[in-house]
């Protein structure tokens, strides 16, 4: 998880990237590739050459890459491209597995959008294939690469500051307009059958796992609060139970205006951040820690906050220190130094395991054991 300039890149040889699919989120990652000095975007592929050309033209107009980017008219061409080391795959979840496996078969390292697949079984297949082929696999959770994550998790783990973690609570939502539920793929039962649980809950689950250093819950209880007419979750809540009595609850929704907060509560204090997915626009990524106390003296009873504010100097997006830039920098460094990091497939799989248990619990309306990693 360390963020450092690659020595290979300093020597002038970058990791060479292709983007598979001209999705909206790919525009943001175009920026990440632009700013990661050890990465070079070679080509963008979509199902039509025109679409790739138009995507590249628009992105070059917004954030120019320091070189030409090749437009390709099919995913196959990208996978056959001899100068591409790694592919970023923001295709819809319903069709992603096939292309991830084909990319691995073509010898490409893979950075995949999330939720990686529709099932644990599919993801296990992907992880095994990447391991066998000695290729890096990672899911595109940008916040994992924010410079604030490590010091913040260290505080959560600090036995004097937070103490034993008892409760985690997180909320990730945005309010989609009516048209979203008719037109957006995130409400499509074929393309994104996991709905808000895959699109948003993936982050809730990942943040929860991070706060517990990867400890897995043993039981999930969840509810689908709203669905589309064809059963895609659009509002979802869950509670997870861990060994030792820790519990975590999360809520994700397409119906509630943008929120993205997480609280980590222990026996001695708590840590919270109110922008865990995408740092608020600005140049600092912040969080806070608190050790509140009731102090009673005679008839005086004071509630003392004892808050401390923390920040790292990090641009929210579109710059050298941005979390999406760190994501590409870290990935490229692993590729260039040939030191693949099994932490990333592990965290992706753990996330998918918890997600699947939540979905099953909601469908059965009863507690469901979480399959072991």
Cβ–Cβ under 8 Å, residues 59 and 309: no
Contacts to its own copies from residues 124-153, by CB under 8 A: none
Give residues 10-29 in contact with its own copies (rule: CB under 8 A).
24, 27-28
Binding residues with its own copies: total (CB under 8 A): 70
| CB closer to its own copies, 188 vs 253 | 253
Angle at Cα 279 formed by Cα 273 and Cα 284, nearest 5°?
90
**Is residue 94 exposed (0-12), middle (13-18) or buried (19+ Cβ within 10 Å)?**
middle
Q: Smallest distance from the beta carbon of 37 to its own copies, in angstroms? A: 17
Q: Is residue 211 involved in binding its own copies (CB under 8 A)?
A: no
Does position 54 bind its own copies by CB under 8 A? no
Q: What tokens does 343 get?
A: 């932490």
Nearer to its own copies by C-beta: 142 or 353?
Answer: 142
Q: Which is nearer to its own copies, 59 or 100 (CB)?
A: 59
Nearer Cβ to its own copies, position 117 or 173? 173
256 binds its own copies (CB under 8 A): yes
15 in Cβ contact with 85 (< 8 Å)? yes
Spatial distance between the Cα atoms of 200 and 207, rounded to a whole number of angstroms? 11
Q: Which of 71, 224, 316, 355 is close enough to bind its own copies by CB under 8 A?
A: 316
Q: Which one of 4-12, 150-158, 196-204, 235-243 is the stretch in contact with its own copies (CB under 8 A)?
A: 235-243
114 part of the interface to its own copies, by CB under 8 A = no
Contact by Cβ (8 Å): 143, 323: yes
Checking DSSP bridges between strand 109-112 and strand 86-89, what pairing results, if any?
parallel
Q: What are phi and psi of 72, to 5 degrees?
A: -120, 145
The Cα 360–Cα 366 span in angstroms is 9
CB of 53 to its own copies, least distance (A): 16
Of the candidates 219, 224, 240, which has an alpha carbon nearest to the alpha carbon of residue 170? Answer: 240
- Structure tokens, 200: 């948003």
Member of 15, 59, 87, 349 binding its own copies (CB under 8 A): 59
Q: Which residue has the tokens 């130094």?
A: 337
- Using CB under 8 A as the binding rule, whether residue 243 contacts its own copies is answered as no
| CB atoms inside a 10 Å sphere around CB 178 | 7
Residue among 96, 97, 290, 329 that touches its own copies (CB under 8 A): 290
Q: Does 317 bind its own copies (CB under 8 A)?
A: yes
Q: Which one, of 243, 132, 255, lies nearest residue 186 by Cα?
A: 255
- Judged by beta carbon, residue 24 or residue 372, the one nearer its own copies is 24
Interface residues toward its own copies, by CB under 8 A: 24, 27-28, 30-31, 34, 58-59, 61-63, 163, 166-167, 169, 171, 173-175, 221, 223, 225-226, 235, 237, 239, 245, 247, 249, 251, 253, 255-261, 263, 265-270, 275, 277-281, 290-305, 316-318
């Amino acid at each position: 998880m360390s963020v450092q300039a690659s020595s290979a890149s300093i020597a002038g040889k970058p990791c060479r990237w292709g983007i598979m699919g001209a999705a909206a989120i790919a525009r943001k990652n175009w920026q990440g590739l632009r700013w990661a000095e050890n990465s070079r975007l070679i080509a963008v592929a979509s199902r039509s050459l025109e679409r790739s050309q138009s995507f590249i033209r628009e992105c070059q107009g917004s954030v120019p890459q320091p070189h030409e980017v090749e437009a390709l008219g099919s995913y196959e061409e990208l996978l056959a491209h001899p100068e591409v080391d790694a592919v970023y795959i923001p295709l819809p979840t319903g069709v992603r597995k096939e292309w991830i496996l084909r990319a691995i078969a073509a010898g490409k390292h893979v950075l995949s959008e999330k939720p990686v697949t529709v099932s644990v079984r599919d993801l296990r297949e992907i992880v095994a294939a990447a391991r066998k082929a000695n290729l890096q696999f990672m899911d595109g959770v940008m916040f994992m690469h924010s410079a604030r994550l490590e010091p913040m998790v260290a505080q959560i783990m600090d036995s004097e500051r937070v103490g034993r973690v008892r409760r985690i609570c997180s909320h990730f939502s945005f309010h989609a307009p009516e048209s979203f539920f008719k037109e957006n793929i995130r409400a499509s039962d074929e393309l994104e059958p996991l709905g808000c649980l895959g699109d948003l809950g993936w982050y809730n689950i990942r943040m929860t796992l991070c706060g517990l250093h990867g400890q897995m819950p043993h039981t999930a209880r969840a509810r689908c609060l709203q669905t589309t007419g064809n059963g895609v979750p659009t509002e979802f809540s869950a509670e997870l139970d861990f060994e030792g009595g820790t519990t975590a609850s999360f809520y994700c929704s397409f119906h509630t205006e943008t929120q993205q907060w997480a609280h980590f509560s222990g026996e001695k204090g708590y840590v919270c951040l109110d922008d865990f997915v995408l740092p608020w626009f600005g140049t600092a990524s912040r969080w806070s820690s608190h050790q509140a106390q009731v102090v009673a003296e005679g008839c005086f009873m004071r509630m003392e906050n004892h808050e401390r504010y923390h920040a790292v100097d990090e641009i929210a997006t579109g710059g050298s220190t941005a979390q999406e830039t760190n994501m590409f920098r870290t990935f490229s460094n692993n590729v260039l130094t040939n030191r693949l990091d099994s932490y990333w497939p592990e965290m992706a799989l753990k996330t998918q395991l918890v997600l699947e248990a939540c979905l099953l619990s909601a469908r059965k309306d009863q507690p469901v054991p979480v399959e072991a990693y």
